[in-house]
């Protein structure tokens, strides 16, 4: 199985984040999230670890707003202009525009508030290069399917599913799964299945008015959990996209049995849609001991979830999203993807 990985992610190492309620904390989104997975993959004979192809900006701009991409490229440089010591700092906004106030200011801090959804996606010196390579990993995984592979893996860091057309947030800067799915949509209809603990609000926004890409997210109820303002069961698409988006919000404490029941609902909709390709936004933060989650999925649960999805027998690219238990993220991710090895 082809595993697409870039070491560029290591240089994106945010020095802090601001948690709910304004608490400053060390970031949970750290390089070891991927490095712990890679160290286990290197021990597997079936894992072919490959550097991503460099695609340029065209497939990125097919999903994201040009002004937003320009902001990501230049934000840290403009903010630190004239400063000498900025190794351990990162840009976050001080203000956010209220509803209806959507002018884009010249000030880089004003732009930060415009383009950044929250305080958990700080921009450092190496954030944009890492995000770009992360997106290239997802695109490379998609291209492997076009070339005939039955399954591939994109070790994406930073993750992507909270990034919208013109905003970052929730550790996410470029929407890797959306970029891969949009690329695959040039060849066939595509389904995106998001199994991260948090709702894939960015993915939902990007495809909400499209009928060629089915988007499904199984996640913690946003009435109680981040991202709070999207991911509700009555959000089903708009215009041509009506009926092509499905949210399945679940309560805190959801266990293996309840999760698989919800998954069966999602898989039935995918089978009915009959896509040519499947993109799985694979969040490991549904694990029972994840510090940012309140589900109770075990390692056996990951095996069952992976097996059920693999049994669709659709060409599938698995795109890494969240997961913050550094002790178990590697084992959980391998347990999940090993269900697809026979299909690769």
Instruction: State the catalytic residues.
Output: 162
- Determine the angle formed by the axes of helices 329-337 and 299-310, rounding to 10 degrees: 30
Q: In angstroms, rounded to a whole number, what is the distance separating the alpha carbons of residues 131 and 172?
A: 8
| DSSP reduced 3-state for 143 | helix
Helix spans in the chain (H): 32-41, 58-61, 66-79, 108-115, 127-146, 176-184, 201-207, 256-273, 299-310, 329-337
* Residues facing residue 152 across a β-bridge: 2, 317
In angstroms, the Cα distances linking 157 to 6, 82, 160, 242, 321 are: 9, 29, 8, 31, 8
CA-nearest of 309, 312, 307, 311 to 335 is 307
Q: In angstroms, rounded to a whole number, what is the distance separating the alpha carbons of residues 279 and 138?
A: 9
């Amino acid at each position: 199985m082809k595993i697409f990985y870039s070491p560029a992610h290591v240089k994106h190492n945010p020095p802090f984040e601001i948690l709910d309620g304004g608490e400053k904390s060390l970031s949970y989104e750290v390089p070891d999230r991927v490095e712990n997975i890679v160290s286990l993959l290197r021990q597997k004979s079936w894992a072919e670890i490959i550097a991503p192809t460099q695609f340029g900006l065209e497939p990125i701009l097919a999903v994201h707003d040009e002004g937003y991409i320009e902001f990501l490229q230049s934000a840290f440089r403009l903010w630190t202009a004239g400063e000498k010591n900025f190794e351990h700092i990162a840009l976050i906004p001080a203000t956010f525009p209220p509803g209806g106030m959507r002018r884009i200011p010249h000030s880089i801090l004003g732009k930060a508030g415009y383009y950044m959804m929250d305080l958990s996606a700080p921009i450092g010196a190496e954030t944009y290069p890492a995000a770009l390579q992360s997106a290239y990993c997802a695109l490379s995984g998609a291209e492997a399917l076009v070339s005939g592979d039955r399954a591939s893996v994109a070790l994406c860091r930073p993750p992507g599913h909270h990034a919208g057309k013109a905003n970052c947030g929730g550790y996410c800067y470029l929407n890797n799964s959306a970029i891969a799915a949009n690329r695959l949509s040039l060849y066939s209809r595509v389904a995106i299945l998001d199994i991260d603990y948090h709702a894939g609000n960015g993915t939902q926004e990007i495809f909400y008015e499209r009928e060629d890409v089915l988007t499904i997210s199984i996640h913690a109820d946003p009435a109680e959990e981040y991202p709070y303002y999207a991911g509700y069961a009555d959000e089903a698409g708009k215009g041509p996209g009506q009926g092509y988006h499905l949210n399945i919000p679940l309560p805190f404490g959801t266990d293996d049995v309840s999760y698989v029941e919800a998954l069966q609902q999602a898989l039935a909709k995918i089978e009915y849609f009959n896509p040519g390709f499947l993109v799985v936004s694979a969040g490991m933060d549904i694990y029972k001991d994840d510090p940012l989650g309140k589900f109770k999925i075990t390692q056996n649960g990951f095996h069952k979830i992976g097996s059920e999805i693999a049994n669709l027998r659709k060409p599938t690219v698995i795109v890494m999203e969240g997961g913050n238990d550094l002790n178990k993220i590697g084992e959980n991710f391998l347990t999940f993807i090993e269900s697809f090895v026979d299909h690769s």
